[in-house]
Amino acid sequence: MDKTLQVEHLEKYYGSRSSLTKAIDDLSFDVKPQEFVAIMGASGSGKTTLLNCISTVDRPTAGHIFVDGEDITKLKGEALNRFRRERFGFIFQDFNLLDTLTAYENIALALSIQNVKAAEIDKRVIKAAKDLDIVNVLRKYPYEMSGGQKQRVASARAIVTEPKLILADEPTGALDSKSSRLLLEKFRYMNRELQATILMVTHDSFSASYASRVVFIKDGKLFHEIHRGDSSKKEFFGQIIDVLALLGGDVSDAL
């Protein structure tokens, strides 16, 4: 069982019989522990649908998704919620921080809903804040922070529960380039130093170049995947651009 995530023949259809849209069409891939995988594709390629299926927000039409060996397509109701709470950490494009809570409380909430003790919560929140370099904004409210700070708070919230898999949906989508770079550095740090397994959906090749592997999808199918191996970030970026050129379509305008 050395696979954190295993997607097998996943299919997701939308619409009725007369006008069927295959958002995901027989897609299979897997993520090993401590991997940092980026999924790239044009808008409409099925990236978000895939992430929704993995994160149990949406149900696939057919196929299986195994997380840590457990088939999450079979889970229902409260078991699904528990699974999501305990195994996944989420980072969203629009941060999804609660505007009524401070940064500290936002991070702590992820733990308190798992009934972690107050003393333990404090220790872990401080640790996560140090890791993500947000100790000085812990007392602030979301509206008092910059986008980059908000996204790092969201990342701290995702990692503080020590999940099996962190799911990031366009995490740099709402950030400027400097904040993006800072955030991605933190992702790499989380991946290398904190042994976090990350699955990131993006259409930005610069973001993808931080990953150790990039999976390309087109029209709901696996198009290509490239491993970074020993190549530098710059070289890897070049490889990604090459694939994107092949992929064509509107992804290229994300350059």
Partner 1 sequence: MLFKIAWKNMRKSIKDYTIYFFTIVIGVAIFYIFNSLGSQTVMMNVSADTREIIKMMTTIMSGLSVFVSFVLAFLIIYANRFLMKRRNREFGIYLTLGMGKRKVSGILVLETLVVGAFSLVAGLGIGIFASQFMSAFVANMFDADMTKYRFIFSGDACIKTVICFVIIYGIVILFNTINISRCKLINLIYAGRRSEKLRMKNPWICTIVFIVAAIALGRCYYLVGSDKVDISLDGLKWILITGVVSTFLVFWSVSGLLLRIVMSIKKLYYKGLNSFVLRQLSSKINTTVFSMTIICLMLFVTICVLTSAFAIKNTMTANLKKMAPADIEFKVNMNLDLFAGEDEEYSRKQIENSHFNVVQRYEKKKVDLNKYLKESCEVKVYRSPKLTFAEFCGDTIKDVKEQYPFMIVNSAEDIVTISDYNRLMELFGSKKYTLAEDEYMVVANFDGLIPARDQVLSQGRQLNVFGKKLKPKYKECQDGFMDISSKKLNTGFLVVPDDVVQEKWIAEDCLFGNYKAVTKQEVRKLEDELRKLPLKSTCIYASKQEIADASLGISALVTFIGLYLGIVFLLAGAAILALKELSESADNVERYRMLRKLGVENHMLNGALFRQIFIFFLCPMVLAVIHSYFGMQFSTRLLAYVAEKDQLFTATTLAAAIIAVIYGGYLIITYFSSKSIVRE
Site residues (vs partner 1, CB under 8 A):
57, 78, 81-86, 88, 90, 92, 96-101, 105, 108-113, 115, 117-119, 121-122, 141, 143, 157
Closest separation in Å from C-beta 85 to partner 1: 3
Closest separation in Å from C-beta 122 to partner 1: 7
Closest separation in Å from C-beta 83 to partner 1: 8
Closest separation in Å from C-beta 78 to partner 1: 5
What's the rounded Cα separation, in Å, for the pair 12 and 142? 35
Closer residue to partner 1 in complex, CB, 82/192: 82
213-218 and 198-202 beta bridge pairing = unpaired
Torsion of CA 90, 44, 23, 21, to 10 degrees: 150
What's the rounded Cα separation, in Å, for the pair 74 and 3? 18
What's the rounded Cα separation, in Å, for the pair 197 and 159? 10
Closer residue to partner 1 in complex, CB, 105/225: 105
Closest separation in Å from C-beta 180 to partner 1: 22
Closest separation in Å from C-beta 50 to partner 1: 17
Element (H, E) at 215: strand 213-218
Closer residue to partner 1 in complex, CB, 121/251: 121
Closer residue to partner 1 in complex, CB, 85/188: 85
Closer residue to partner 1 in complex, CB, 95/216: 95
198-202 and 165-169 beta bridge pairing = parallel
Closer residue to partner 1 in complex, CB, 102/209: 102
- Cβ contact 10:50 at 8 Å: yes
The dihedral sign for the CA sequence 167, 169, 170, 171: negative
The dihedral sign for the CA sequence 138, 86, 54, 36: positive
- The DSSP secondary-structure symbol of 209 reads T
Burial 48-65 (b: 16+ CB within 10 A, else e): bbbbbbbbbeeebeebeb
